[in-house]
Structure 1
């Protein structure tokens, strides 16, 4: 079964898609408590129907769990970020918008359409029985039955119809795509002069009173304000921390080895060559008898001269894939070949030749050429690996036993983390944190959910422990604030040097802009760019050292009359003057105009689909209460 899952990973992803997208379920027995704690608050509304915070949380948990399963090494803080939560909300909103559009526009999927997709879409091949019926056993392994799969596939197809017409609406001709790509890959010859603030800094000498006034200006407060910080104690319960505390008996390790001996056995593989005389399974008996007789003749030849097997295969085998290699099939494990072939090959010894073997492909003559694998590693050679695995399993079991105790204790004895630390033998750690995780934060300190709780009213004013937060698979953390400093302005004398430096930079930038605009006006008046530095060629594909802002200005400059002069503040305090002196066509031609036209049409279709989706949202009076909703949703988890 697991081999089948690995081979059909894409199929199961599709099943999960059909299973999950329409199934953001209600909150069940937790509904009343969720309503009371704000989980029933709307974070979005589509066509009068709200999406609750609890539904959003559930959708985000499902999405996070799917990503964890697909990418076990994924950094947990990426899943807990504001961006990840926003993506979950966007996906949920889009699903509800399409569901509403299906209702409003009366989209339906007929039985004929449903059956056609099921029978022709390659992604459903493994779900189809030879007679075209549904593979009920495979669906059952995914927790689904036939009616459930049919209903959800029908709903999914109906939602697809809402956007399909727009998605396929654009037509890309070679001329249109050539014009678009010509504009995109166009090159321009330009002369560039950059006036840096550093060139004017020596001219700036602000007085102390001017520096202090700059510091006290409310418009500049954010440049000097110290962020709010909290000094916290925190304790962590995780599997890694429990591994060292569990005891492992030698007998348990040996029992594990015996119970899992197959895991430490290298699978046997066999290498064989064969001669195939084709005969279709449904062929008339006379035709099959003729093929068998020919195979028997060839068998007699190779039995007399086994060394000639490869030559006979090259000349007579009807297996196009292996005949040129003398019938060689390379190494293969059990399960890779059809059953009759495998049984015959695994019954031979190296060098032996089988009798004629019949399969659905025809008649085979098999020669076994080599055997490898089948050896079992000794207990001593894998002991360390087994101990690590057993320790992990015992630690996971211990974690499951202690997780509820951890959560309850930090809540019930909320004035300190000392009780839970002593009860479970955990160490209390300390850290200085801000509302958002630092760029280099790891582990629990990278959890936005934990930090939201740290800076909540309950933690700061009521001096209570945070609730236990899961910051990764089998990882819990709780924190307690020991000291808090709100956002505040520092004393002027402490930051005077920094303030002076910023003020000098600001005034020097103003001088650079002034000198630049005067220089630009003079250049436009003279129309002569030769006083500017040496010309260079730029394009979107070869931007050189130009910043995106400068490159955009160069490529948007009006070139109806050359030279064309543009000036702009580059964003770093400098002023840039650019003189476009020549417009050059792009280098080379498109290798495949037809492919370029397809890409052009795809880009337009994507843009039109986005516009249509936005129009649907507006028509259905979609409102999203974010980012405020995002913050409250994170805090509620």
Structure 2
């Protein structure tokens, strides 16, 4: 965990900054200044959202997305009117709150500010506010306590605008009770499904149909601008291929040093009887104990099967005597040397002579003996070679990655030098668009989507690189793109194909399949709707599947479309019927029984709190909408242009 923090300090700092200083995420400290000379894109009473504020908010938003996705976020997702409008709405809502707080002179006492800051977990140590931690965090972001506390005071003041609305939101009891009843109502349903595939054979699609569809769907058929690319991949396989032939001595040395990986050492499953000797025992006491141990040996060698019984009676090892003296499996290095030698000299079923140990005299019996077993060097050689090559390849990978970066930089207009120096193959693939990899039908047999490198070429960072001006326009190599810790790539544009509508012959089969599917589906729907009308006129239950008891909390495997349709059927009495069109079928739903739900189920215990939060969010939006009316929110021409056309995308 600490290694991750050390190696990702910038990411961790950003996360902490967002947690500790939420008010600076979009607007920064300057966001609390109400006067600016920047061009306005929206007017909120006397306040404005400026173009520069919006652009900075875009940059911050993109930075957060990139950090949280470790570089995999596609900036194009934010470069559209909907995303820009959503961001502007956030800025407008904030300005509304600032305006209301200012007009009403909302303020926060020093005590309330201290309590709020002290309660921040990021500023605590062992659950208590830490002044040292507080100053450490602020210093790491270049903030003074005065600036930070001013920001937090403003945040708390702004919270007085909508906070009371959010905190006092309470879902009306009848609404909550109705939700609970709706969620727990149980219906017994059966299905009868009419599949599109059953109508495929009866569908006829003519050349005229295909031509008409082609002529009428030019926009749907239009392919985006696409590139074909040459690229290099440096991965574990490439590093392994670069490892030179190994000497036999290297493999043998590795085998001996790691023999435990390939050989199971000898072991003995042993039992014993202990005759204890007290510390400082006299010669007479020692002789008596030795004699007793020898007598036990004599008895056991005459009747080995009596070992467990005799151990229970005679052994003075309280820990094992009750279990018949069983010690379990012993490997070399476990017992003192003299005892180990005696144990490993036994064959299965043999009884040892008395053996003196630290606690007294032992009599051992080998219950089971397993000799050393495993693979010889010759047997283990393939595995040894694979492991040695893998370890050497890890070192080679790091070296090759450094060289690849240097070679690509030194030779920006060709991949050949890097390929030759590192022994890499220049690969080729086509059908790569800004937003996605095109299918084989769209791009042909060399489509990147059909290659083994589709995951690499489909990575948003690779597509961004291919459509950057450096690579697309200047025809230079991209930089080294790290896909994962053990895979990196360099790409280069070979050809560019502008956006176009493919010729009819290229998409004929695709259109035929689509028309066949549409007409087969329409036939299934028509059949299903006809049968449904007959059932509603004269109810019968034949032809339906097995009954299933479902509720909105327990769909019992039904798809959302079917479940929603089942609960939309108004049934004063049963059986009742309804229908739903599915992607490739039509389903008639038979309701056999309806039962009211159990609203006191534990699954709904937190529903009131959850819905109160939702309700509070709705009420906040209603208040903001009213504030927009009162203060007069107006988009400027500059704002409309920026929302519709953007500013070249977030960067």
TM-score by length of 1: 0.56
Deviations 1:474-524 (A, max 9, x none): 999764321233455555556555444433332222222222222222222
Deviation, 1:100, is: 0.9
What's the CA shift for 1:578?
A: 2.1
1:169 is matched with 168
CA distance in 2, matches of 1:41, 1:432: 44
Q: Gaps spanning 5+ residues in structure 1: where? A: 27-39, 69-75, 246-383
- Is residue 124–residue 133 contact of structure 2 (8 Å, CA) maintained in 1? no
Match of 1:232 in 2: 229
Note if 1:150 corresponds to 2:145: no
1:614–1:565 distance in 2 versus 1, CA, 3 Å: farther
- Given that 2:236 and 2:394 are in contact with CA atoms closer than 8 Å, whether structure 1 keeps it comes out as no
Describe how 1:413-492 pairs up with structure 2 within 5 A: 416=414, 428-435=426-433, 436-438=435-437, 445-452=457-464, 454-455=466-467, 462=473, 464-465=475-476, 468=479, 479-488=491-500, 492=504
Conserved 8 A contact 1:215-1:492 = no
Which residue is equivalent to 2:114?
Answer: 115
Question: Which 10-residue stretch deviates more, 58-67 or 141-150?
Answer: 58-67
- Conserved? CA contact 2:470–2:478, under 8 Å: no
Greater CA drift, 116-125 or 184-193: 116-125
Q: Distance in 1 between matches of 2:646 and 2:240?
A: 36
Cα distance in 1, alignment partners of residues 158 and 49 from structure 2: 19
Match of 2:558 among 546, 551, 563: 546
What is the DSSP-based 3-state SS (H/G/I as helix, E as strand, rest coil) of the residue aligned with 1:170? coil
Alpha-carbon distance, 1:568 to partner: 3.1
Q: CA RMSD in A?
A: 5.4
The verdict on how the C-alpha distance between 1:524 and 1:469 changes in structure 2, with shifts beyond 3 A counting, is: same
Superposed, which structure 2 residues align to 1:50-449 within 5 Å? 50=51, 51-53=53-55, 55-65=57-67, 68=70, 76-77=71-72, 79-80=73-74, 82=76, 93=88, 96-105=91-100, 106=102, 107-120=106-119, 124-126=123-125, 135-137=134-136, 139-141=138-140, 143-172=142-171, 176-206=175-205, 208-219=206-217, 222=220, 229-234=226-231, 410=412, 416=414, 428-435=426-433, 436-438=435-437, 445-449=457-461
Give the 3 Å change call, closer, same or farther, for CA 166–465 of structure 1 in structure 2.
farther
| d(CA) in 1 for partners of 2:430, 2:528 | 46
Q: CA shift at 1:22, angstroms?
A: 0.9
Q: Distance in 2 between matches of 1:498 and 1:211?
A: 13
Runs of 5+ unmatched residues, structure 2: 29-37, 243-388, 438-448
Q: How many Å separate the matches in 2 of 1:116 and 1:127?
A: 17
Distance 2:86 2:490 in 1: 31
The answer to whether the 8 Å contact 1:41/1:53 transfers is no
Query: Which of 517, 529, 534 pairs up with 1:517?
Result: 529
Deviations, residues 374-399 of structure 1 (Å, cap 9, x unaligned): xxxxxxxxxx9999999999999x69
| 1:530-571 Cα distance to aligned partner (Å, 9 max, x none) | 345154322223323432122212112223454443233223
Task: List per-residue Cα deviations over 1:61-103 (Å, max 9, x = no partner).
Answer: 25533664xxxxxxx42x3465588999799657634541232
Structure 1 range deviating more: 141-150 or 611-620: 611-620
SS of match in other structure, 1:608: helix
DSSP-derived class of the 1:586 partner: coil
Q: Deviations over 1:147-202 (max 9, x none)?
A: 13212322333444443223223224666433312211222223432222223333
Change (3 A) 1:111 1:423: farther
Q: Distance in 1 between matches of 2:148 and 2:88?
A: 23
Cα shift at 1:595: 4.0
The answer to whether the 8 A contact 2:119-2:129 is kept is no
When residues 159 and 93 of structure 1 are mapped into structure 2, their CA distance, relative to the original with a 3 A threshold, is: farther
Change (3 A) 1:551 1:218: same
Deviates more, 1:149-158 or 1:472-481: 472-481
Q: What's the counterpart of residue 369 of structure 2?
A: none
SS of 2:124's equivalent in the other structure is helix
The verdict on how the C-alpha distance between 1:514 and 1:502 changes in structure 2, with shifts beyond 3 A counting, is: same
Cα deviation code 1:377-432 (max 9, x no counterpart)? xxxxxxx9999999999999x69x968x966964xx6xx55578789998755332
Residue 264 of structure 1 corresponds to which residue in structure 2? none
TM-score (norm 2): 0.55
Report the number of matched residues.
463
Alignment partner of 1:575 out of 571, 581, 586: 586
